[in-house]
Structure 1
Amino acid sequence: MSNRHKLKEGKFRLHIWKKFFTVRDGNRLLREAVAAPSLGMSKAFSELQAKVMDTQQKVKLADLQIEQLTKTKKHAHLTDTEVMMLVDETRMYEGVGRMFILQPKGVIHNQLLEKQRIAEEKIKELEQKKSYLERSVKEAEDNIREMLMARRAQ
């Protein structure tokens, strides 16, 4: 392990230069002087930073999925609104693979409502997952701060 390492991941940056640990959290700078950076401390920091990065990627993925499901739900709602304005005798076709199947208006309406309901359920699940992941990131960041404070107290 050389005297100069830089691990840049996520919100935190850990710099190990000779006898200093420096952790940058946004605009705040925390510097901790130590006799020699211990291998265990460096490993713990890198593990926590990897966890933070992984969790932040999962949060971004959840955001993208929520956005896509919201679009799907909105599309189904608008389609259903237009279908309901048509008279009951209107011939409606459902696309299935490369073909179209003649369906009654009620069946199409029920399918669109089901599509909206499923999208709404998935959105709720993803929002719960996202809030859990955000709490996990916050806990990991707090653990990094605690490690610095514990090291400072020594």
Structure 2
Amino acid sequence: MSKPVDLELKKAFLELQVKMIETSKKIHDIDTEKVALSRLLEQVQLNSLGMASVTEGTKTYEAVGRMFLKRDVEKLRKRFDDRKVELGVLIKDLADNKEYLEKNLKESEDNIREMVQLRKEQSEAKAN
């Protein structure tokens, strides 16, 4: 004889499955964005390293769209430093967001396990 399907449990499993799919997609997107920002940070660090050896009197230009603007060396160095800090903050925020999503997903899984265990205990109590 088959056991009747617990509709509440079935609904909870479906919701968890949808949540897992959405969360795994978000985590994948975060990982992809993190890799892209890390590469950009690497480029900025290399440019900053190159700018460190440039003397104060050297003509320097910054690419802006399809043109180049003459800039002071010190302004470019400051711009690279600011960009490094900005990218570091963005990468940290993405890591925090990913950690939150993973924690939230784990919590949902634990809730489902707890619900299954509770149903199992209730059915065993009824059988006795």
TM-score by length of 2: 0.88
Q: Is 1:37 the counterpart of 2:5 in the alignment?
A: yes
- Map of 1:104 onto structure 2: 72
Q: Deviations over 1:10-30 (max 9, x none)?
A: xxxxxxxx94xxxxxxxxxxx
Please say if residues 55 and 136 of structure 1, whose CA atoms lie closer than 8 Å, have aligned partners that are also in contact. Answer: no
4+ long deviations beyond 4 Å = none
Q: Distance in 2 between matches of 1:53 and 1:146?
A: 21
* Higher RCO (C-alpha under 8 Å, 6+ residues apart): 2
Higher relative strand content: 1
Structure having the larger proportion of residues in helix:
2
1:47 aligns with 2:15: yes
Letter of the structure 1 residue corresponding to residue 117 of structure 2: M
2: CA distance, partners of 1:106 / 1:86? 10
Q: Which residue of 1 aligns with 2:49?
A: 81
1:11 — aligned with what? none
Taking the TM superposition and a 5 Å limit, the aligned residue runs for 1:62-81 are 62-81=30-49
> 3-state SS of the aligned residue for 1:135?
helix
Unaligned runs of 5+ residues in structure 2 are 124-128
Structure 1 unaligned residues grouped into runs of 5+: 1-17, 20-34
Q: CA offsets per residue over residues 58-116 of structure 1, 9 Å max, x none?
A: 11211112111111111101101111112211111111111110001111111111110
Aligned length: 122
Asked if 1:130 is matched to 2:98, the reply is: yes
Provide the residue aligned with 1:5 in structure 2: none
Q: Distance in 2 between matches of 1:39 and 1:151?
A: 12
Q: How many percent of aligned residue pairs carry the same amino acid?
A: 31
Normalised by the length of structure 1, the TM-score is: 0.74
